[in-house]
Chains A and B, each alone.
Chain A
């Protein structure tokens, strides 16, 4: 059959675009074209299911349940697969605008399901479908596969010295074998690295006869062979070590270094961390934001989930704060008492993917009234440095230069906000509920206890929930390819509702986690949320975060200021479907939550 346009169109529509040619060719030979005028009802819930997979070429359809529109589908989007897979008509399908659709009969659709990637797009549950569309993005890039296992980075068997060796002997072995670390034959094994020779031997004035055991590190930080590369990054960033022994079972099969991980992608977090560690002075801060953007872009192209990338960005930002505060202390002299640098908002939740406005505060020990001026200066300096590194000032003024207080006063203020009825107080309380300590020796347990108490304040929780439910995603019917509502702010209409409601759930079940997904997990463990609901909301969240990041990187690439507004016409048909489904998942959750918190009483 000649290549007619409908076949070409279908071939270009995901997931048909990823099918092997012979499989697609067979299916496309059975393609049909159907035309239905507006208001036609293609299937009725509970009646006979559809017998075709429909791909919309022109026009639109509504999926309805009991007269309520659940979803609206437009060009390039598909329907009918639920009928085909479950053999039930679970929704009414009504033509919204005159519909020209290409359709595949059941037999051909089922034949295509043999292709796993194709089948993934038609998984019955929303969470699996969303997952399939996320995984799909990996295959289109030429980037290193960041989910590859670390064992692929192991180049040689580990080099060992006996437990009785001296530092000098160990150094010779390392020189001869061209390695920067050796394992020491203790039980269990320990490790010594060239850094140890510098920091623990030479700098301490010890000689080559020193027993290697005196300077080796026991209790090895190891990584299992099947660990994905990106997880090894996390371990490296969290532990601060530069050598990771790789284990299979109990055996160490090799040692990978931060350099090996660095080579896995030159723009990865290890590379950015290196640059942060090597920042010599404050005038080298500009450019940090740019490097984080490049890293984010590379990781996204490498197939990493936006939520995983956010974890890296948080760790790097934390390292930068360490650097900035260490400089400040070195220049201003040691602090007069213990203090803590805390971050809140998205940084507190470790959910930043691109640098956003600063959200921070400084808390110091009680009983040092004279410490105020020192910490004020410290905060101003650190805020300025962060701004130089690419974190804009917070327009609301939630920065340490304005928020530096002794712990007791700080805790009292927070508590007063939670009982204050004004919207401003509620906003402040909500911001600092997401606090996370990044630097400093001060123990914040009293403040954490105040946050936990707030979670048990019924009125406060209801008001917090009310705020979370105020922003609802637009109904599917209003999201159109063209016209007034062809644009949507996916932060305020999608991400924020999830974050806010997860915050309520996390607080209510007494979780100390700040991260949205971890708060959801805590809610599931406490029985406040079912695992299915968690899966739906979690995948919707991951999808929205990923979609926003892709769009924002795209805007940056075009030299525009990134925004949270997504134009429907810029999305692929699959993205449009997933966006609508994600919004639906949020609305379902909000409905349950409004019942739980009785926000209708307000």
Chain B
């Protein structure tokens, strides 16, 4: 073992979820951010951070995305700019691990936004609950000879694991949802070190 990995609950995780104006990382804006920390394995709602983000211009909100996030221009035009928001996020990202459900999308949007504002991406270690769902499915493979594809949708995966239904598509609620899902999957995988979760 080259590097020792810390016990999983000795590090701080910031669970994060973004609502975006579409799914195209290259051109769609971030419209809302929700973040909640886990310290010693406990989700601290009181420290959560949630904000809307002002997109560069009204047309930036892809009409087909409105159905999902329910955010329209009128709601976000008074919100802080993406630069202000990134500066608020940045301190949190530097505190520990970034925890997301489907890192490909959220981390992609964040990196793009950082670059757009001329900021340096802090490159935190990332834990992705979608990866953990795959890990859990592979583990089940040993006992179940014909495993089904794992359920990857956040709400559906939570339901399968016995977690309560939360309203979806609110950035903070989705971040809390992902954080709870993480706690259950961490237990299911029997992971003791951070390394086993990445």
Give chain A's interface residues, CB within 8 Å of chain B. Answer: 1-2, 4-7, 9, 28-35, 37, 57-59, 98, 100
Among B41, B44, B173, contact of A4 (Cβ-Cβ < 8 Å) = B173
Among A4, A31, A37, A58, contact of B172 (Cβ-Cβ < 8 Å) = A4
Contact of B162 with A by CB under 8 A: yes
Contact of B50 with A by CB under 8 A: yes
Q: In the complex, A35 Cα to B38 Cα: how many Å?
A: 11
Q: Which residues of B contact A32 (CB under 8 A)?
A: 42-46
Q: In the complex, A58 Cα to B161 Cα: how many Å?
A: 11
B105 to chain A, nearest CB (A): 21
Q: Which residues of B contact A57 (CB under 8 A)?
A: 164
A153 to chain B, nearest CB (A): 50
Give chain B's interface residues, CB within 8 Å of chain A. Answer: 34, 41-46, 48, 50, 162-164, 166-167, 170, 172-173, 176, 179-180, 183-184, 187
Q: In the complex, A33 Cα to B46 Cα: how many Å?
A: 10
Using CB atoms, name the residue of chain A closest to B162: A58
The A interface is mostly helix, strand or loop, or mixed, namely mixed
Q: In the complex, A81 Cα to B176 Cα: how many Å?
A: 25
Q: Is the CB of B46 within 8 A of A6?
A: no
User: Which 3 pairs of residues, A with B, have the shortest CB-CB distance?
Assistant: A33-B43, A35-B183, A5-B166
B18 to chain A, nearest CB (A): 15
B138 to chain A, nearest CB (A): 20
Q: Which residues of B contact A98 (CB under 8 A)?
A: 162, 184, 187
Q: List 7 A-B contacts (CB under 8 A).
A: A1-B50, A5-B173, A7-B45, A33-B42, A37-B187, A98-B184, A100-B163
Q: Which residues of A contact B167 (CB under 8 A)?
A: 5
Q: In the complex, A9 Cα to B166 Cα: how many Å?
A: 10
Q: Which residues of A contact B44 (CB under 8 A)?
A: 32
Using CB atoms, name the residue of chain A closest to B34: A2
The B interface is mostly helix, strand or loop, or mixed, namely mixed
Q: Which residues of A contact B187 (CB under 8 A)?
A: 35, 37, 98
A346 to chain B, nearest CB (A): 43
Among A29, A30, A33, A37, contact of B179 (Cβ-Cβ < 8 Å) = A33
Q: In the complex, A9 Cα to B176 Cα: how many Å?
A: 14
Q: In the complex, A400 Cα to B175 Cα: how many Å?
A: 71
Q: Is the CB of A4 within 8 A of B176?
A: yes
Q: Which residues of B contact A4 (CB under 8 A)?
A: 45, 48, 166, 170, 172-173, 176
Q: Is the CB of A100 within 8 A of B45?
A: no
Q: In the complex, A240 Cα to B183 Cα: how many Å?
A: 68
Q: Is the CB of B176 within 8 A of A33?
A: yes
Q: Is the CB of A1 within 8 A of B163?
A: no
Q: Which residues of A contact B48 (CB under 8 A)?
A: 1, 4
Q: Which residues of B contact A7 (CB under 8 A)?
A: 45
B169 to chain A, nearest CB (A): 12
Q: Is the CB of B50 within 8 A of A5?
A: no
Among B34, B42, B164, B183, contact of A5 (Cβ-Cβ < 8 Å) = B164
Among A1, A37, A58, A59, contact of B45 (Cβ-Cβ < 8 Å) = A1
A280 to chain B, nearest CB (A): 60
Q: Is the CB of B173 within 8 A of A30?
A: no
Q: Is the CB of B163 within 8 A of A6?
A: no
Q: In the complex, A59 Cα to B184 Cα: how many Å?
A: 12
